[in-house]
Amino acid sequence: MTDISLLVLGLGWTGQFITQQCAAQKVAYAATTRDGRHGTLAWTLTDEPDVSTLPPARTVLVTFPVLSGPAMEKLMTAYEAKHSTKPHWILLSSTRPFSSNPLPVSDRHSPMMPNDRTPAEEVTLVHQGTVLHLAGLWGAQRQPRNWVARFSTEEAIRAKLLTRQLHLIHGQDVARAILAVHEQPRGGRWIVTDRGCQDWIRLFLTWASSDQLILARRLAHEDEACRTALHNATLEEAVARGNVQPASDSREFWDTFGLEPTKFLKVE
């Protein structure tokens, strides 16, 4: 077998971009899925991890949520003992834990709200690994224009009028970010977005149904909190002002690794 540089545990949605980027950068990789499809290794994380089929690699990427700190610890310990090596571990996460930050903008140093992923993330950090907190994932079959229809109730639409930022990161830029950490290992938590944000109101004006827009316009006109947030503007006027600023700051990641995001959503 060719020496493996990157081991991907869980070749899910991000896998299509990771494999393409590995090919482009000539990074030798192996990957797992639960059923071993498409030439991957059949493997599942359990409370007592079996690492017997996992090859040695310089970097081990875990793409799925690990909801048990002990399972993560056992996985890392067993893998490192089997191969007598200490790879760099990367665990993918989301930016959601930073949404509770009372400050208007969160960066990787901001306080977080603990959740069911936190114990495994802390284990990763103890092992000098990297936790990548990814913004909203899009690309290929995941298209934000299809997300708008999910917000059909007055309560859901109201929430988007009050918190307008939509932070995104394209799958291709996720893959580039992962390989950057693979090539330049740096532990710690990092926020990864496309540096900007989209305006949910703009998305609604472009892609929402007539019923959704009726609700949104009524809220903008009649709901006191919405009127205050929009400064008594119409939806169109609010978007034209263009004053929606990112609440997640990923500048430190891109600056540290010498990269820039390349894929940005077109709302049209």
Residues 106-136 have pLDDT tens digits of 999 999 999 999 999 999 999 999 999 999 9
Q: What is the pLDDT of residues 28-57, one digit of tens each?
A: 999 999 999 999 999 999 999 999 999 999
- Domain for residue 154, yes or no? no
Q: What is the CATH number of the domain that holds 114?
A: 3.40.50.720
Q: Report if residue 225 sits inside a domain.
A: no
Query: Does the residue 182 lie in any domain?
Result: yes
Domain for residue 40, yes or no? yes
Single-letter code of the amino acid located at 38? H
Alpha helices in the chain (DSSP H): 15-25, 69-83, 118-126, 154-162, 171-183, 200-207, 210-222, 224-229, 235-241, 251-257
Residue 171 forms part of a structural domain: yes
Q: Does any domain span residue 236?
A: no
Q: 179 lies in a domain?
A: yes
Considering its fold, how many domains does the chain have in total?
A: 1
Hey, what amino acid is at 16?
Q
CA atoms of 226 and 163, how far apart (whole Å):
10
Domain-embedded: residue 162: no
| Range(s) of the domain holding residue 100 | 4-143+167-197+246-257
| 211 pLDDT tier (thresholds 50, 70, 90) | very high
What is the pLDDT at residue 103? 80
- Read off the tokens for 77: 């310990």
Instruction: Spell out the residues 6+ positions from residue 82 whose beta carbon is closer than 8 angstroms to its own.
Output: 51, 52, 54
Q: Is the pTM of this model over 0.75?
A: yes
